[in-house]
Structures are given as structure tokens and as C-alpha cells.
Homo-oligomer: A and B are copies of this chain.
Amino acid sequence: MKLYSYYRSSASYRLRIALKLKGIAYDYHAVNLLQAEQRCDAYLAINPLGLVPTLILDDGARLTQSSAIIEYLEETHPEPALLPENPLARARVRSLVNAVACEIQPLCNSGVTEHLKKVMGVSDAGIGEWYERWMPRGFVAVEEMLETASTAFATGDAPGMADIFLVPQVYNARRFNLDMAPYPNITRVVDACNELPAFIEAAPEQQPDAPSS
């Protein structure tokens, strides 16, 4: 498989974790978002939304949208499972996934903040307020959903789809200095994940396109 990824894209990061947890090998193709490579014709032919990640299967099939791709991997490579078996438990995991994927990430990504800054003239302080408005909203809900659980990871005793979405979002929140003190359960779960090889190997700083520090 070929993975088109940017080291710091949280959607790419999610998919890298899923691939690592499933033990699926892939070739890494970097798409430099800072140099707008995602809007070049060559990449738009691969992914018409101009977004990372894209996963190209061995037969050439092209998959887009991280949640859709991870559900595909779960269906075609069921072990280890990233979703529980019970439909109600699956709904709970997917609700956590979507709290991140539909409520936080779409508003707190570089495409949106660049638009706010460059097109709408929003100041750096205004961008900070934007993050403060939209990041905590999703985290508050996720924290409440995690409070009732006493599991090592978000939804069980092994990492699953909810963890895959939470870890990159918390990485992003920390990068923007969001105070994580109000979210002890999220912090506990994410820190547990970050001890595991799959999460360590999928981390932004471990990718071939990460700048050497």
C-alpha cells in the first residue's frame, strides 16, 4: 500500500496509527502542506479534495477520508479489532470518533486558520480565541464520555478507534498550548497510548518528512 501523508496532519497521523496497530506495511509518500503540494494537479488527481491522507491499495484503488479508510482496514484486516463487537458499544466508539472528526478537527486545522488569518485578517490573538472556542467544546464532551469508563484506553483494555482519533487531536492541542488540566481522563488515555510502539512509530516526529530537530 502507498500512504500519502503529511507528518503533522492529524488525519494522516490517525491512519498511520491504524496501519501500525494492524501491522500493515506501507510506502510513505510525503505531501508538503506548507508548500501547498496538496493543491497541485498531480495530487488533486489522487485526492480531489486536496486533503491528506490518501491510501492506495495494491490493486490501485484509491481511498480517501481517514474514518472511511480505517473502517475499511477494520473490515479487511479484522485483527486486532479497533471496534468492539456489540453494536451499542460500536456506536459509543464512533460517537467519540466523530466528536473529534466532526466537531474539533474541521475547525482547528491549518487550512481554516490560514484562511482566517490571510483572507479574513484575523490576528494571532483572534486565532488563539478561535482555538479556545472550538477545541474545548469537543474535549469537554469526550472527557465526560470517558469519565464513566475505568478502562486503560478510551473504550477498552486495548487501543481502538477512539484512541486513534484522540491522540492526534491532543498532540495538536498541546502544540497550540491548550490547557489540558480540565481533561484528566483524556490525558490518561492518550499518555497510555503514547507508550505503545504503534503510537510511537506513527508520531509526527518519526516521519520521513519531519524536519530534523
Chain A positions within 8 Å of B, measured between CB atoms, are 48-49, 51, 57, 61, 63-65, 67-69, 71-72, 75-76, 87-88, 90-95, 97-99, 101-103, 105-107, 112, 115, 119-120, 122, 126, 129, 133, 137-138, 140-141, 144-145
Contacts and interface: CB of A to CB of B under 8 A. Distances in A.
B133 A119 contact: yes
7 nearest interchain CB pairs?
Answer: A68-B94, A106-B106, A65-B98, A72-B91, A49-B141, A68-B95, A75-B87
A40 to B, nearest CB: 16
B106 A103 contact: yes
Contacts of A94: 65, 67-68, 71-72
A97 to B, nearest CB: 7
Given A48-B141, A103-B49, A141-B48, A87 B72 contact: yes
Nearest to A47: B141
A203 B141 CA distance: 29
A99 B97 CA distance: 15
Contacts of A145: 48
Contacts of A91: 63, 68-69, 71-72
B107 A105 contact: no
